[in-house]
Structure 1
């Protein structure tokens, strides 16, 4: 296994352990300047991930790190893009649909990605250059790399040969752009089913063949999407910006993503 991917997997498992330690307590919720929630789990997981990644010498863009000015970042050919707890709102709701996201980006393109779902001890990881991605259902956050490899099964997207199309979205509140996307599919004669998940698990639904397409017409940041994009790209799924009609790029001056579409 690629050494950087191995370390990212180890970091995600250890982060998952500290996240679940907080999850089982009566934790407090802070509100950050951007109005997003923050818990002790975000901070502890970020510290753990930094401990694993910093010795590698590759700079890190993390939601919970102090953001580095673009005058410095633009000189980075390679960087990690990290969200210690993606889906903090899901974490607060205690619905289990939150993840640890770790991606390695080279020249703006995700190359490796890890998504760990600590509530159910399930890990997804992908290597774009090798064209492979895997899922492993673990018994413990303390699972060794050798055990992860033994438990790993390759994932593949759907062949998408039927009239039925599964669209990743919210059952309860889809915005107008997403509704228009669904209506356009219906006008093409497709029978549309909405499937829903929190956090970066939306990417995993498409990558492992449990959905066909994920239209994202709402704001996301680079750390929300980099790991999911790497896993999707590793199995031939594209993550295309609605602004540029090109794959989402990373380590941009503005870390806010454009709207995008995840599909074959």
Structure 2
């Protein structure tokens, strides 16, 4: 089933979802329409629009593969546990960045197989950059031009990429252990992409995330030679757990 995935079709779908987001982003009245979900996280019209585009597209392209989306209906674990392969989608990662209008939000589409992300697309609509991880290779697309992604493999004087919205005191302690001497700050799953293209070496997240927040970025990073581990030790990060809540993690480019 994985062999039948058409990368270009999925890139086109991510671009389509991104355009749906931009249509709202550039309309201040629509962009300012913000609801709050039961966990008090924000929900915009752009989240809904991107979700609709992706659900329709994936269902048409791959009707045999189930979909789990942040903005979709909750699927009970008794059903999910039967999913060997499924799409894991965050239609708009970085909703707070969207609301703050800094352009650092993304469309995340990942394919999970046997609890691991084996394919992922992260699309940043404002700079119009697509990051792709196919398992075998990673690349980014800018103005239609493809360039490979490869981690730095740095051994010293490393650069950390940090969250704009979720900084934690634990970061300072851990980053010293990895000889981090500088840091940059960026929103959403772009942090994984910064490590994948060698602009940073480490991304540490102590606080909670959801599986759809990390899957596509992890696929891109690991396809570029990096790895994502649980913060508690050298244990791989896996998906479709009984709870879709993630533990803290380390995304490494070395």
TM-score (normalizing by structure 1): 0.89
Distance, in Å, in 2 between the alignment partners of 1:119 and 1:209 is 21
Match of 1:142 in 2: none
Where in structure 2 are the equivalents of 1:245-260 lying within 5 Å?
245-260=234-249
**How much has 1:159 moved relative to structure 2?**
3.3
Report the Cα offset of residue 214 of structure 1: 0.7
Residue 178 of structure 1 corresponds to 171
Gaps of at least 5 residues in structure 2 are none
> C-alpha distance in 1, partners of 2:54/2:166?
33
**8 A Cα contact 2:110 2:216, kept in partner:** yes
How far did residue 244 of structure 1 move? 5.8
1:156 to 140, 150, 157: 150
Q: Is the 8 A contact 1:7 1:52 kept in 2?
A: no
Task: Return the alpha-carbon distance in structure 2 between the equivalents of residues 21 and 193 of structure 1.
Answer: 36
How many pairs are equivalent? Answer: 246
Does the aligned pair in 2 maintain the 1:122–1:135 contact within 8 Å? yes
Distance 1:76 1:4, change over 3 A: farther
Single out whichever of 25-34 and 93-102 deviates more from structure 2. 25-34
1:201 and 2:190 matched = yes
Equivalents in 1 of 2:208, 2:74: separation in Å?
18
CA contact (8 A) 1:171 1:194 kept: no
**Which residue of 103, 121, 124 maps to 1:96?**
103
> Under a length normalisation based on structure 2, what TM-score does the superposition of the two structures give?
0.92
- Superposition pairs of residues 1-264 of structure 1, within 5 angstroms: 3-25=5-27, 26=29, 27=31, 28-55=33-60, 56-57=62-63, 58-128=65-135, 130=136, 132-138=137-143, 148=144, 151-161=145-155, 163-170=156-163, 174-185=167-178, 190=179, 192-243=181-232, 245-263=234-252, 264=254
Q: Runs in 1 of length 4+ with deviation above 6 angstroms?
A: none
